Amino acid sequence: MTHKHEAIESACQMYPLYDSRWEHDACGTGFLAHVSGEANHSLVQQALEALARLTHRGAQDADAEVYDGAGILTQIPRALLLEELEKQHVTVANPADLGVGMVFLPPKGSVHTQQCRQIIEQVLQDAGLVILGWRTPPVNYNVLGARAREIAPEIAQVLVACPADFTVEAYGKALYHARRLIERKLTEADISDCYIASLSNTVLVHKGLLAPNDLANFYQDLADPRFTSALAVFHQRYSTNTFPAWPLAQPMRLLAHNGEINTIQGNRNWMQAREGSMTSSYWNEQIQDLLPVVQPGNSDSAQLDNALEFLAASGRDLLQSMQMLVPPAWEHDPELDAARRAWCDYHAGLIEPWDGPAALVFTDGRTVGAALDRNGLRPARYVLTAQGLLIVASEVGVVSVEPQDVVEKGRLGPGEMIAVDLEHQVFLRDLDIKEALAQRQPYQEWLESHRVSLPQSSLEELPDPGYAPEISDVFVRQQIFGYTHEDVEMVLRPILSENKEPTWSMGDDAPLAVLSNQQRSFSDYFRQRFAQVTNPPIDPLRERVVMSLDTYIGRRGSLLTETPDHAHLVHLKSPILTEAQLESLCHIDDEHFRSRTLLTTFDITDGSAGVEKTLDRLEAEAIAAINDGITLIVLSDSDASLTRLPVPMLIAIGAVHRALIDKGLRSRASLICQTGKVCDVHQIALVLGYGAEAIVPTMALESVRAMAGDRRLEHVTRELAVERYIHVIEEGLCKIMARMGISTLRNIIGAGQFEVLGLVPEFVERCFAGSTFHTGKITYQLVSEQLIKQAEELQQAQASPETANPKSVSWPTWAAIVSVAMLNTMPSIP
């Protein structure tokens, strides 16, 4: 076990609310690059100076000796390394063939050190690479603080060369593949304290728990005049809610990051979900060696780096890969031309954004760039000098420049990117990059030929628009689905009368559902999580341009390929559908969109095993449906009655979603919920959060239609009632996303961005895996028993309404009975 993991385990015992999955960074970062591609030592010195000027953006331990981390990523200093190899009588025919791995071996004295070296050597040899030998770079451990020195790794470099029959592309591919295999074999050997900071034929990483101005004192190569580079990415870390560790210092292997990735949980979940359909002619059977793409236990920055490296090593170039992961807010941008809009729309169907707030600098040794996420809440400023030096940093002044030498200066806006192509010696501005990407493939033609859209304005009702169910029928169904008097009068009625969510007082003095004596909605066992360090928070009203409720329905292709079929999806502007829209969706005349409905109800005679038996059945039916070529799976409780009880849709969707991920089938079909169990924004956000890509809230729609034209709602038609309800739910979803620091609904779907209170661990593991939770005693059996009890009370109340005793009837049931009684006895008001 590494010192890092020992520290985390100790912290978890002392502070049980700490969870290492929520580690984030708020740092200073930037890069320097010669547009000409000229490599010299002066640029490295300037980068170290710039890093030292960002010291105030970092943090240090209470001992004032140990820093959260600092580092620099440069091109490989070939002159220095080749000269040392020559002294050892090792020659490299082509200097460009030299590759270097910067390895953090276990701390000195560890029994694993020699085993780590053997694993690394064996994998490199099996990959066909030429091992030139090991090098111990000159380091000075005396400059470290006491704790940093105590947990410091033994630092070594492994030098390799390209075989004669390898192309440059094959060489880089082999190095990436080898590193991933090394990591797998280290895991299999139960060695967790060996870390490869970089293994590349283009770049080299120097980092650690160091003060920025001590970096060159520790890594003495950095002060050597032979250490030259045409670029340098630098980073000063300020870790938030995390324990500093050597591997968590930045830069990572391709990028450095200032900010946090608020969408990280959903990004990680969906990357895992895609792995079952991950195919590539570029990798063929080797693709399995690269999974999982996102390595567990890493910080949000490291996981983004995993994803970027995976895409960039699989056939896409660095700029396209970064733009896919961190796209601009294109959905409501009126100035975006058709070609760039088509690029964004096409790739939105491939992958969801990795959203910050984040300022990112990145390089593969040939191209170096910087980008902001769609919100643009982290600073990134740049200066281009007359000498061709591009300076990008979190703030101005990191490198002293005479005013007369400044050719251009500015800052990145939300969703913008700049870069330097060192091979072609050109400075690329945001428009240059995006226009070039848009011309890579005929994206607009692919969308026009394959993309399907449903008219979101269609609010026609099913059955016939003139049909109005009896009020008593509506209230009976409300009782079956557990609606309370408050749901109708304090949630739905204000929505229709005011066209907005009802306003509640601050604070919540109701007992937690798991501690309450009253039977509560299953959604009450969940709490929304908030962005930890996003400042300022997203304003869903004034910053509506960055918010998006778009979602995509259908079978997803492999993330590693681009074909016209990848565009063959249904694009929805909102996840909230009417019954008519669901009917249209399920009857699209296209073999790519075949639907099947799975019922989420169980027979009351199943007793306490009802919920669990239903989940077993649903999981098996969903797997069978996908194997039959179904791409739209509708989970429905439309047959619910007093003898067919509806499983809470949140449980059903969570179980099916997780089962499909575990079987590697999730990306082959979309999940849609047709349910009467959800009413308010929180309930709908939960169902989306655990896997639904669209929802038809049938009982809520029936209820608002029934209320249209009612007392004080005389001006509200049934069509307007539905329109207002959907509008308010959409606005509410935007507010929830804003509180989480998330801009797009695609980052909510399947993300599990909630805290679970009171469920037994096996319940969470099956239906809500990945969510933080506090264990309790709520089981499948207890949920079944509560549903049966409620149904029996309703049956008793319907059989003898005049003798129904409020003390013997649960609150939701009694409230509904009182509502019906009041409605039937209340005089009409003209």
In angstroms, the CA 608 to CA 780 distance is 8
* pLDDT value of position 524: 93
CATH number at residue 185: 3.60.20.10
Is residue 421, in this structure, part of any structural domain at all?
yes
Of residues 570, 622, 661, the one with CA closest to residue 277 = 661
Q: Which structural domain, as residue segments, surrounds residue 399?
A: 3-449
Q: Are strands 754-759 and 772-778 parallel, antiparallel or unpaired?
A: parallel
Question: Which one, of 783, 787, 785, lies nearest residue 640 by Cα?
Answer: 787
Assigned domain for 207 exists? yes
Q: How confident is the model at residue 803 (pLDDT cuts 50, 70, 90)?
A: low
**Are 41 and 164 contained in the same domain?**
yes
Res 799: pLDDT: 78
Residue 387 · residue 378 · CB < 8 Å = no
Query: To the nearest whole number, what is the mean pLDDT of the chain?
Result: 89
* Closest to 676 (Cα-Cα) out of 653, 654, 651, 647: 647
CA-CA-CA-CA torsion sign (508, 513, 514, 517): positive
Residue 509 has a pLDDT of 73
Residue 59: predicted pLDDT: 66
- pLDDT at residue 674 greater than cutoff 90: yes
What is the number of domains present in the chain? 2
Residue 27 catalytic? yes
Compute the CA torsion angle 7, 12, 18, 20 (nearest 10 deg).
50
Do the Cβ atoms of 750 and 690 come closer than 8 Å? yes
Q: What is the pLDDT of residues 303-327, one digit of tens each?
A: 999 999 999 999 999 999 999 999 9
Q: Spot the catalytic one: 27, 116, 679, 767.
A: 27
Per-residue pLDDT at 573: 94
Determine, yes or no, domain membership for 462.
no
Last residue of a domain, one of 449, 475, 499: 449
Question: Does residue 12 have a pLDDT over 80?
Answer: no
pLDDT at 331 over 60: yes
Q: Which of 352-361, 522-531, 535-544 has the lowest mean pLDDT?
A: 535-544
Mean pLDDT in residue range 355-366: 94
Query: What is the rounded CA–CA span in Å between residue 486 and residue 814?
Result: 12
Confidence of residue 15 (pLDDT cuts 50, 70, 90): very low
Residue 484 has pLDDT above 70, yes or no: yes
pLDDT tens for 156-194 read 999 999 999 999 999 999 999 999 999 999 999 999 999
CATH code for the domain of 780: 3.20.20.70
Q: What pLDDT, on a 0 to 100 scale, did the predictor assign at position 8?
A: 39
In a domain, 822, yes or no: no
Stretch among 241-255, 441-455, 485-499, 560-574 having the lowest mean pLDDT: 241-255
Tens digits of per-residue pLDDT, 259-305?
889 999 999 999 999 999 999 999 999 999 999 999 988 889 999 99
pLDDT surpassing 50 at residue 610: yes
- For the segment 680-718, what is each residue's pLDDT rounded down to a tens digit? 999 999 999 999 999 999 999 999 999 999 888 999 999
822 pLDDT above the threshold of 60: no
Please give the pLDDT value at position 17: 52
- Same domain, yes or no: 445 and 530: no
514 domain-assigned: no
| For residues 748-775, average pLDDT | 95
- Assess whether pLDDT exceeds 70 at residue 554: yes
- Same domain for 534 and 395: no
- 105 with 236, same domain: the answer is yes
Question: What does the pLDDT read at residue 283?
Answer: 96
- The mean pLDDT of 29-51, rounded to a whole number, is 97
Q: Decide if pLDDT at 26 tops 60.
A: no
Q: Quick check: 2 pLDDT over 50?
A: no
pLDDT of residue 720: 95
Burial annotation 152-167 (CB, 10 A radius, 16+ → b, else e): bbbbbbbbbbbeeebe
Q: CB-based contacts of 504: which residues, under 8 Å, 6+ apart?
A: none
Instruction: Please indicate, yes or no, if residue 485 is contained in any of the structural domains.
Output: no
Let me know how long the chain is.
Answer: 830
Burial class from Cβ neighbours inside 10 Å (0-12, 13-18, 19+) for residue 702 reads buried
Lowest mean pLDDT among 332-341, 477-486, 762-771: 477-486
**Pair 789, 677 in one domain:** yes
What's the pLDDT tens digit per position in 518-536?
788 999 999 988 876 655 6
Write down the residue that tokens 């929180």 correspond to. Answer: 682
Kindly give the pairing relationship between strand 632-636 and strand 595-599: parallel
Amino acid at 251: P
600 Cβ contact partners less than 8 Å away, ≥ 6 residues apart: 614, 618, 635, 636, 637, 646, 647, 649, 652, 675
Helix axes 264-274, 300-312, angle to 10 degrees: 40
Helix, strand, coil % in the chain, rounded to nearest 5: 40, 20, 40
Q: What confidence category does residue 814 fall into, taking pLDDT thresholds of 50, 70 and 90? A: very low
Place of tokens 């985390």: 8
d(CA 293, CA 295): 6
One domain for residues 415 and 550: no
Residues 131 and 239 placed together within one structural domain of the fold: yes
Looking at the structure, do residues 574 and 684 belong to the same domain, yes or no?
A: yes
Q: Are 537 and 639 contained in the same domain?
A: yes
**Whether residues 185 and 314 fall in one domain:** yes
Q: Is residue 69 very low, low, confident or very high in pLDDT (cuts 50, 70, 90)?
A: confident
Residues 6+ apart with CB under 8 A from 11: 18, 243
> What is the model's pLDDT at position 815?
43
- The CA distance from 23 to 12, in Å, is 13
Shared domain check, 437 and 546: no
Q: Where among 428, 449, 470 does a domain terminate?
A: 449
pLDDT-derived band of residue 455, with 50, 70 and 90 as boundaries? low
Does residue 397 sit within a domain?
Answer: yes
pLDDT of residue 533: 61
| 770-802 pLDDT, tens digit each | 999 999 999 999 999 999 999 999 888 877 765
538 has pLDDT over 90: no
pLDDT of residue 543: 85
Given a contact cutoff of 8 angstroms between Cβ atoms, the answer to whether 369 and 318 are in contact is yes
Helix (H, G, I), strand (E, B) or coil at 11: helix
pLDDT band for position 58 (cuts 50, 70, 90): low
pLDDT at residue 20, rounded to an integer: 46
How many whole angstroms from its chain centre is CA 187? 24
- Side chain identity at 777, as an amino acid letter? K
Compute CA distances 21 → 166, 190, 297, 300, 305, whole Å: 40, 21, 7, 8, 16
How far apart, in whole angstroms, are the C-alpha atoms of residue 585 and residue 747? 23
Residue 469, pLDDT score: 56
Q: What percent of the chain has pLDDT over 90?
A: 75
H runs (alpha helix) in 53-109: 78-87
| ∠ Cα 601 614 569 (to 5°) | 80
| pLDDT tier for residue 460 given thresholds of 50, 70 and 90 | very low
Among 6-20, 363-377, 645-659, 667-681, the least confident range: 6-20
Looking at per-residue pLDDT, the higher value among 506 and 661 belongs to 661
Mean pLDDT of 569-573: 96
Is residue 333 in some structural domain?
A: yes
Q: What torsion do the CA atoms of 281, 284, 286, 291 make, to the nearest 10 degrees?
A: 70
> 3: pLDDT confidence band, cut at 50, 70 and 90?
very low
pTM: 0.91
Residue 373 has pLDDT above 80, yes or no: yes
478 SS3 class: helix
pLDDT band at 431 (very low <50, low <70, confident <90, very high): very high
Q: Where are the alpha helices (DSSP H) in 639-717?
A: 649-662, 681-689, 698-707
Residue the block writes with tokens 């060996």: 194
* Domain boundary, last residue among 424, 449, 474: 449
Which pLDDT score, from 0 to 100, does residue 698 have? 96
186-196 residue pLDDT tens: 999 999 999 99
Cα gap 30→719, rounded to integer Å: 54
Residue 556 has pLDDT above 70, yes or no: yes
Q: Are residues 554 and 428 in the same domain?
A: no
Asked if the model's pLDDT at residue 218 lies above 90, the reply is yes
Asked if residue 18 has pLDDT above 70, the reply is no
